Amino acid sequence: MNKSAIGGMPRPDRKERDGLIRLDKLLTHFGCATRRQAIDAVRRGRVQVNGAACCDPAAKVDPERDEIRFDGVVQSYQKNRYLLMNKPRGAITAVTDRRETVLDLLPESERRGLFPVGRLDKDTEGLLILTTDGQLCHALMSPRRHVEKVYLAGVSGELAPDAAARFAGGLVLRDGTECRPATLEPAGTEDGLTVWRVALREGKYHQVKRMIAAVGGHVETLRRVAVGTLTLPEGLAPGEWRPLLPDELKRLLSHTGEE
């Protein structure tokens, strides 16, 4: 690290700066934060350079030689990129479509090589992972890995008294499709609808809507709030996104057996 750039000491001259890069910018290159998040994280002391907290986002560091830690995790250029989005209603979960896709919600500079992990219906909102990592995508979607996906469904109509037991026992849909055991729990009310928490370990077409229909209800609103170890951050509004934090990625990869 160029120590003279840290802690308010005189700035290095042009020669010294060769090959150096601002700390906040390097964090964005690593793919672990947007520029705004990087500045905030550095100021809050969450970033260490060669073992010491560095609170100056403009500090110049050497990407080749300095060890950068974010929340204690050593950072390096990532082969893959990982974003978390709160998908808004109305966007299509696809890379290209004639209608607005989730990729269209990202600045063009971020889109290259990204694809959504799994599908959410056009009228579903909530947690969606976008990545360039095909292996992680497979691990999260493969029915054999049993990664849990959790939804909050706003439902009209009365569910059958044995609905939760039927979910737990492996519900059979109206068309005869057999579902894996799933969890159904009441989760309050919202806008006059009964909210049900549904946890699945597979991802069939319109699965939550069809399971709820099979026990007598109608899904009016649907929001995904968790995938494996990842939960939808409270402050992330529909349409907003951010890179996965190092710790979130680490836990997700180890949960899916990819690390």
Residues taking part in catalysis: 121
CB of 185 to ligand URA, least distance (A): 16
Query: Would you count residue 209 as binding ligand URA (CB under 6 A)?
Result: yes
| CA–CA dist 67, 72 (Å, integer) | 11
* Residue with smaller CB distance to ligand URA, 57 or 126: 126
Span of 65-73, 120-128, 138-146, 240-248 interacting with ligand URA by CB under 6 A: 120-128
CA angle 101-38-244, nearest 5°?
45
Q: What is the per-residue DSSP string for 130-154?
A: EES-HHHHHHHH-TTTT--EEEEEE
| CA–CA dist 213, 234 (Å, integer) | 29
| CA–CA dist 52, 5 (Å, integer) | 14
Cα–Cα nearest to 118, from 106, 104, 134, 97:
134
User: Among residues 2, 86, 207, 256, which is the contact residue for ligand URA, using CB under 6 A?
Assistant: 207
* Residue with smaller CB distance to ligand URA, 30 or 151: 151
Query: Would you count residue 121 as binding ligand URA (CB under 6 A)?
Result: yes
Query: Would you count residue 89 as binding ligand URA (CB under 6 A)?
Result: no
Per the structure block, which two tokens stand in for 153? 């469904």
Query: Would you count residue 2 as binding ligand URA (CB under 6 A)?
Result: no
Q: Would you say 118 and 177 are in contact if contact means Cβ atoms under 8 Å apart? A: no
Per the structure block, which two tokens stand in for 146? 């049993």
Query: x/- string (CB under 6 A) for ligand URA, residues 144-173?
Result: ------------------------------
User: Among residues 6, 91, 184, 222, which is the contact residue for ligand URA, using CB under 6 A?
Assistant: 222
* Residue with smaller CB distance to ligand URA, 123 or 240: 123
Which residues bind to ligand URA, rule: CB under 6 A?
120-121, 124, 206-209, 222
